[in-house]
Amino acid sequence: MLFPTFDFAIFFAVAFTANWLLNPYPAPWKLSMLALSYVFYGWVGWGYCLLLLSTTAIALVGGNAVVRSTTEKRRRLAMALSCAGLLGLLGWFKYYGFVSVNLDNLTHVLGLGRAVPLLQVALPIAISFYTFMALSYVIDIYRRHLSPARPLDLALYLSFFPHLLAGPIVRGNELLPQLRHRCDPTAVDYSRALWLILAGLFKKVVISSYVSSAIVVPVFTAPAQHSALESIFAAWGYAVQIYCDFSGYTDIAIGLALLLGIRFPVNFDAPYTARTLQDFWRRWHITLSRWLRDYLYIPLGGSSGSEARTVRNIMLTMVLGGLWHGAAWTFVFWGALHGVGQGVGHLRRRRRVRRGLAAVAEGPVRIWMQRFWTFQFVCLGWVFFNATGLSDAFGVLGRVASGWERPSPLVTPLLVLVVIGTVVSQLVPPDAVERLQATFSRQRSAVQVGVLALILLGITTFGPAGVAPFIYYRF
């Protein structure tokens, strides 16, 4: 069930009514939200509800086993077995096909015949997101950062429909307390929630859809038929498309949860204003970045060891982060590219400090150059992220080098305005946006309704017929 659809509008009307009618009664409220969340997920495919239920059961049993263990060795074993079970489910559904095909190709080259059966395993939507939430739940209990939740609370934590399909990846200590102690309905900022929902819809339905159809799909489908300038704008355009698509989804999810009295963490912070790749990952998909940091990078040793070990940890984290996004070599390459970029940046900073060199003088020119080149590197990575194969990605990049003699009819003034305007808009100071939202919240209801109606009119007028699924649904 997609957010920007009539089906979801009816569903959410029911959920909103049930939420506040049952708000004073904890157990009925949790049961109703759990049932609605499973209906929401089951709308995609009812069989996958069993997978979500299995993930919940493993996390529940694993967390309780960790707490009941009497020695540190048993605690570690309970945690490891639980994580292995969760990763086993994720690995079977998401990576079996990728591994089996590549292993089969290798054994054929070596003349060993077929090593494993080739099976088509359907990828359940959202499995990566709720698996990571389940993993963090078990690991946080092992680290004594979290107490085991009641079965109903845990089931709702993992399945709560606003975050279920594409995040944010919410930690147990962020969401579980809100499920136990319900919000006062008079304390909810409904106008901010509606603002976020409509802003997210505008980014997804209008901007992302337009850029996708105007430049991204034509160029990435047949790169050889397009010019260098069109290829460059296709890379920039995909940067805009995926940002508006995913941050738009996040805005909607945060707004929907807020209407139900639940607060989610921020997931984007003007990522295209980043001055380094490290800064980019502090701003892009923040809940995934901190998950990779806290549950992968730091346990590997982080930056506490030698330079070589630190670079190794960065590379492993980014390659596995790329593989989390999808079972394809394009995602592995994308993750490795970011790993190399961050590794080189880390070495440059460390060696400058070791040589006792003074800090580089800051200034507007340097800041803008850092932002420009960081954005270009990120766009280079997006080419591999979006391409269906490595050859297609290099095909797009090849046109940048060899396609300058061709005309560029797809690069229209409107496209240039939308692409550059969307990137530049991220330079607007956050406090200015917050003041605008606060000013909107203080207006009379009639004014708020009028503004929201105009935004909705713009979405329906400029948006395409029908709504494509959000990009991150497939991860």
Quick: pLDDT tens for 169-179.
Answer: 999 999 999 99
Tell me if 248 sits within 8 A of 196, measured CB to CB.
no
Residue 212: what pLDDT?
93
Tell me if 270 sits within 8 A of 283, measured CB to CB.
yes
Q: Give the span between the Cα atoms of 246 and 36, in whole angstroms.
A: 23
Instruction: Find all residues with CB under 8 Å of 407, minimum gap 6, and list them.
Output: 227
Residue 289: what pLDDT?
95
For residue 26, whether the previous peptide bond is cis, meaning omega lies within 30 degrees of 0, is no
Tell me if 440 sits within 8 A of 195, measured CB to CB.
yes
pLDDT in tens, 293-336: 999 999 999 888 888 899 999 999 999 999 999 889 999 999 99
As a whole-number percent, the residues of the chain with pLDDT over 90 amount to: 65
Secondary-structure percent of the chain, ordered helix, strand, coil, rounded to 5? 75, 0, 25
Instruction: Find all residues with CB under 8 Å of 2, minimum gap 6, and list them.
Output: 8, 467, 469, 470
Structure tokens at 262: 């639940």
pLDDT surpasses 80 at 119: no
Q: What is the pTM of this model?
A: 0.91
pLDDT in tens, 357-411: 766 667 888 899 999 999 999 999 999 999 999 999 999 999 998 888 888 999 9
Residue 473: what pLDDT?
67
pLDDT surpasses 70 at 468: no
Q: Give the span between the Cα atoms of 252 and 15, in whole angstroms.
A: 15
Tell me if 166 sits within 8 A of 472, measured CB to CB.
yes
Length of the chain: 475
Tell me if 340 sits within 8 A of 315, measured CB to CB.
yes
Burial code (b: 16+ CB inside 10 Å, e: under 16) for 142-164 equals: beeebebbeeebbbbbbbbbbbb
pLDDT band at 445 (very low <50, low <70, confident <90, very high): confident
Cα 91 to chain center, whole Å? 19
Residue 358: what pLDDT?
62
Gyration radius of the chain's alpha carbons: 24
Phi-psi region of 443 (alpha: psi -120 to 50; beta: other; left: phi over 0): beta
- Catalytic: which of 163, 226, 285, 325? 325
Residue 360: what pLDDT?
66
Q: Taking the domains of the chain in order of start, what are their residue ranges?
A: 6-182, 187-268+374-475
Top mean-pLDDT range of 15-19, 347-351, 429-433: 15-19
Least confident span in 115-124, 261-270, 283-292? 115-124
Tell me if 341 sits within 8 A of 377, measured CB to CB.
yes
What's the average model confidence in pLDDT over 115-135? 84
Q: Give the span between the Cα atoms of 200 and 181, in whole angstroms.
A: 28
pLDDT band at 105 (very low <50, low <70, confident <90, very high): confident
Q: Give the span between the Cα atoms of 178 and 180, in whole angstroms.
A: 5
Mean pLDDT of the chain: 90
Alpha carbon separation from 429 to 113, 205, 374, 433 (Å, rounded): 60, 24, 19, 7
pLDDT in tens, 209-232: 999 999 999 999 999 899 999 999
Q: Give the span between the Cα atoms of 4 and 338, in whole angstroms.
A: 32
Q: Give the span between the Cα atoms of 30 and 300, in whole angstroms.
A: 37
What's the average model confidence in pLDDT over 16-29? 94
pLDDT surpasses 90 at 139: yes
pLDDT surpasses 90 at 90: yes
Structure tokens at 325: 């996004």
- Annotated active-site residue 325? The verdict is yes
What's the average model confidence in pLDDT over 83-92? 94
